[in-house]
Structure 1
Amino acid sequence: MILVLTCLDDQTADMVIDRLNERGARVARFDPGVEFPADAELSTWFGKFPPRGVLATRSREVVLERVRSVYYRRPTPYLRESPSQIERFTATQARFGVGGILASLPCQYVSHPWAITAAEHKPLQLAIARRVGFDVPATLVTNRVDDVRAFATEHGPIIYKPLRATSYTGPAGEPAVIWTAQVTPDDLDDTVGLTTHLFQARVDKVADLRVTVVGGRVFCVRIDSDLLDWRQDYDRLSYTVVEPPPGLAEGCLAYVEHLGLRFGAFDFALTADGDPVFFECNPNGQWGWLEDATGLPIAATLADLLLEERP
């Protein structure tokens, strides 16, 4: 059995499940943050024997010690917004009980949830990127406005980007996104002191590279647009499958190995000289739209990885 942990509406996971079904694999899909405990039951036994357990959903019964691999995509968080005291208690117990059991199975993970959690921190990403030899733009993480002004004087123009994507609403309550944006000294005031912020020297780029690592395979796509942050408007993007610049594939593989990942979605700027500059690596980033646009066999490669025999 291959266990897919993700939300119920995840078209990217659907692509991998389709490839697994084509190969005749037995697949169980489970969203613990939604299905447990209303639509699922779980028991696991520990003692003087290897752990054993069973997960029963409405459509599947999964013997946990027989799970071959886990595809950890994007399950719903256990804790809802503004929970009551009882909801907070039960969600926390589920997170550490169900979540702890599903994270301790003796099988391979793509990728392990605890490795993903660690790898989502941008300061760690920047440190590991430099360690594996990537060119990293000058970066400042701070809540000191004077340091940002000095940084802008030394490295300007500079950009701001959130350290973590966070749900946000606009003035009328509509969903909003904080994109990467250029900032000037006039934009800086004492509100910088309210929390940590990430500022970076703006890279003079001619294109972006999206590099997707699946196991030992590396897929590289050039993204051309006139946008500072290409995620703002997918209709203005064009894609070209390219060979990674020299050393880039090796660096990406070293990066994911260092962090214990089996997957990584890297973003690089490409300069006029053809040099890649590291921006970030999303350890659980989206890739489905890239396969649709380019025909790259990312879903099939993930299916192969999940079916791979592990020592």
Structure 2
Amino acid sequence: MTTGPGGSVLVLTSAHDVTADLVLRILAERKVPAVRLDPGTDLHTGAALTATYGTGDQRGTLRTPTRELDLTKVRSVWTRRPSPFDGPPELDGQERRFAASQSLWGGGGILASLPGAHYVNHPWNNRAAEYKPAQLVTAQRSGLSVPSTLITNDHDRAREFVGQHTGAVVYKPLWNTPYTIDGRAQQVWVREVRPHEITPDVASCPHLFQAKVEKAFDARLTAVGDRVFAVRIDSPDLDWRQRQSLMKCTPIDVPDRIARSVSAYLTISRLAFGAFDFAVTPTGDWYFLECNPNGQWAWQPDSITNAIAHAIADQLQNGPEA
């Protein structure tokens, strides 16, 4: 591992993100300076962000209650889990909405445009990579196997797709949209769907239907640069996220072909990090399900979690040389 360039690491995340703490401790042990900022809240609770632009000149500073950071000397930015730009809580209505949008486009724009900084990942690349259709296209381009998938708001086409498959078909949401019933948060899990369950209500918005992979197990593959870490997930549920207390995770090796395709996927998507979900068949075929460009990873076995934390620290320490 190289010592990397000079300058600080800027970590954009909430104050309560314990996953970020794992990496920040490693950077501290290596004596790599790091500044933690939650721009969605800190910029209206004591932090100040300034940028100036002119012909051939760009400068900027971030001032917190304890630090002042020269933004031209940031070696890396880790876009971890920052809070949304919601605006100062003391404002109401359109004033708060105005302040929130100005913070997003102004403060967010400054932090996404630091000269020479290495982003893990760049926030705009993160957003682009979150679209499920884009993920499927990128997986195909990268040489990964993709289950037969339909995205449509056509009721007849959806029923036809579900009916024509001899095996099961599942429905999965295109985005994890907040949803409540009687004030209680609800989660839409991946589930099997039958033709008679497809109603004209499909026309209300696009729905994603996908041929169910007859799998031996699920696999979570976490990629950091050219390094990959994977666990086998055995769960009684179709969607292992539903009852994580019942799943079993075991470190596994990644086939070379999958590792090469994952590397191609990151390159196409301009990502330095990705959390990939696969369904693995009894014959050992890996089917791509999705890639979360900012997925959680600290829930995995300690050996995997520790390896991922060190790999991310390497990326941040080495900066543009990573």
TM-score class normalised by the smaller sequence: over 0.9
Query: Do the aligned partners of 2:222 and 2:229 also contact (CA within 8 Å) in 1?
Result: yes
**1:137 pairs with 2:137:** no
1:58-73 → structure 2 map (5 Å cutoff): 58-73=65-80
Provide the residue aligned with 1:43 in structure 2. 50
Return the letter of the residue paired with 1:145. H
Provide the residue aligned with 2:132 in structure 1. 122
**1:88 pairs with 2:88:** no
Taking only the aligned residue pairs, the percentage that are identical comes to 46
SS of 1:2's equivalent? Answer: strand
Give the CA deviation at 1:291: 4.5
Give the CA deviation at 1:173: 1.5
**1:74 pairs with 2:97:** no
> Deviations along 1:82-129, whole A, 9 cap, x unmatched?
961111111111111110000000210001001000000000000010
Q: Which runs of 5+ in 1 are unaligned?
A: none
RMSD value over aligned CA atoms?
1.7
SS of 2:97's equivalent? Answer: helix
Provide the C-alpha distance between the structure 2 equivalents of 1:295 and 1:214, rounded to a whole number of angstroms: 12
Q: Which runs of 5+ in 2 are unaligned?
A: 1-7
**1:163 pairs with 2:174:** yes
TM-aligned CA distance change 1:123 to 1:295, over 3 Å? closer
Q: Structure 1-normalised TM-score?
A: 0.96
**1:263 pairs with 2:270:** no
Provide runs of 4+ in structure 1 moved above 2 Å: 79-83, 291-296
Query: Do the aligned partners of 1:245 and 1:274 also contact (CA within 8 Å) in 2?
Result: no
Q: Structure 2-normalised TM-score?
A: 0.93
The count of corresponding residues between Structure 1 and Structure 2 is 310
Return the letter of the residue paired with 1:161. K
Provide the C-alpha distance between the structure 1 equivalents of 2:319 and 2:192, rounded to a whole number of angstroms: 47
Give the CA deviation at 1:296: 4.5
Query: Do the aligned partners of 2:229 and 2:304 also contact (CA within 8 Å) in 1?
Result: no
TM-aligned CA distance change 1:7 to 1:232, over 3 Å? same
Give the CA deviation at 1:309: 4.7
TM-aligned CA distance change 1:49 to 1:246, over 3 Å? closer
Return the letter of the residue paired with 2:64. T
> Deviations along 1:23-82, whole A, 9 cap, x unmatched?
111111101111112321111111123311111112221110011100001111113799
TM-aligned CA distance change 1:79 to 1:18, over 3 Å? same
1:202-217 → structure 2 map (5 Å cutoff): 202-217=212-227
Provide the C-alpha distance between the structure 1 equivalents of 2:84 and 2:246, rounded to a whole number of angstroms: 32
| Among candidates 205, 228, 231, match of residue 238 of structure 2 | 228
SS of 2:57's equivalent? Answer: coil
**1:57 pairs with 2:64:** yes
SS of 2:62's equivalent? Answer: strand
Query: Do the aligned partners of 1:78 and 1:95 also contact (CA within 8 Å) in 2?
Result: yes
> Which moves more between the two structures, 282-291 or 262-271?
282-291
TM-aligned CA distance change 1:164 to 1:309, over 3 Å? closer
SS of 2:238's equivalent? Answer: coil
Provide the residue aligned with 2:263 in structure 1. 253
Query: Do the aligned partners of 2:151 and 2:209 also contact (CA within 8 Å) in 1?
Result: yes
Give the CA deviation at 1:186: 2.1
Provide the C-alpha distance between the structure 2 equivalents of 1:60 and 1:111, rounded to a whole number of angstroms: 24
Give the CA deviation at 1:215: 1.2
SS of 1:230's equivalent? Answer: coil
